[in-house]
C-alpha cells in the first residue's frame, strides 16, 4: 500500500446546498455525537461516494452507508432523517457491503421529492465517525454540484 497523503478531500454526495451539521433537524446528527461532518439539502436524486474506500455496511433500506476509507477514516452517508421508517420505499441502492468504491461512484438513487411528500426530510448527512483521526478540516458551504470538493481535511 502506498503512503496516504495527509491532506484529503471529500466530494459532495449529491447536488444541492451544503449546510452545517448543527443545522440538521435531528439531534443525533446536529449535536455532533456521531462525529463531525456536513449535510446537503439535495436538489436531485443521485447520491455518490465522497471518498475512496470500502462499503463496510449498507442498510437494506438503501438510506445509509458506512464507508471505510483507504486512509482509515470512517464515514456515514445517511440519506434523509428517519427515512429508515420508509423501509426502502423511494430508495434504490447501487452498492452492497464489501464492495470497493471510488470517489464519485454512485451509492444510491433516492427520490427526494417523494421522500419529502411523505413528510421526511431528504437531507443527506455525511459524518466522520472517527474524527479523532483528523487534525483539521474546512467545509465549503452553499450551493454545490455532486462530486465537487466539499471538505478538505488533514490527518493527524
Residues labelled as active-site residues = 78
Mention every residue, 6+ apart, whose C-beta is less than 8 A from residue 95.
49, 55, 58, 65, 101, 105, 106, 107, 108
For 6, how many CA atoms within 13 A lie in the half-sphere containing its CB?
6
Evaluate whether 59 touches 85 at the Cβ level (below 8 Å). Answer: no
Q: b/e for 44-57, b at 16 or more Cβ within 10 A?
A: ebbbbbbbbbebee
Query: What are the Cα distances from residue 56, in Å, to 23, 68, 105, 108, 118?
Result: 27, 6, 15, 15, 29
C-alpha cell at 82: 428517519
Using CA atoms, how far apart are residues 30 and 153, in angstroms rounded to an integer?
A: 20
Amino acid at each position: 500500500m502506498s503512503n496516504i497523503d495527509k491532506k484529503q478531500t471529500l466530494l459532495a454526495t449529491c447536488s444541492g446546498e451544503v449546510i452545517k451539521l448543527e443545522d440538521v433537524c435531528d439531534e443525533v446528527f446536529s449535536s455532533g455525537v456521531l462525529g463531525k461532518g456536513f449535510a446537503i439539502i439535495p436538489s436531485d436524486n443521485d447520491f455518490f461516494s465522497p471518498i475512496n474506500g470500502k462499503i463496510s455496511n449498507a442498510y437494506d433500506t438503501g438510506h445509509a452507508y458506512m464507508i471505510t476509507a483507504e486512509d482509515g477514516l470512517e464515514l456515514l452517508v445517511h440519506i434523509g432523517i428517519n427515512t429508515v421508517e420508509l423501509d426502502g420505499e423511494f430508495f434504490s441502492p447501487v452498492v452492497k457491503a464489501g464492495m470497493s468504491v471510488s470517489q464519485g461512484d454512485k451509492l444510491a438513487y433516492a427520490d427526494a421529492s417523494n421522500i419529502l411528500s411523505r413528510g421526511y426530510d431528504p437531507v443527506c448527512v455525511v459524518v466522520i465517525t472517527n474524527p479523532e483521526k483528523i487534525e483539521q478540516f474546512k467545509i465549503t458551504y452553499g450551493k454545490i454540484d455532486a462530486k465537487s470538493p466539499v471538505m478538505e481535511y488533514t490527518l493527524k
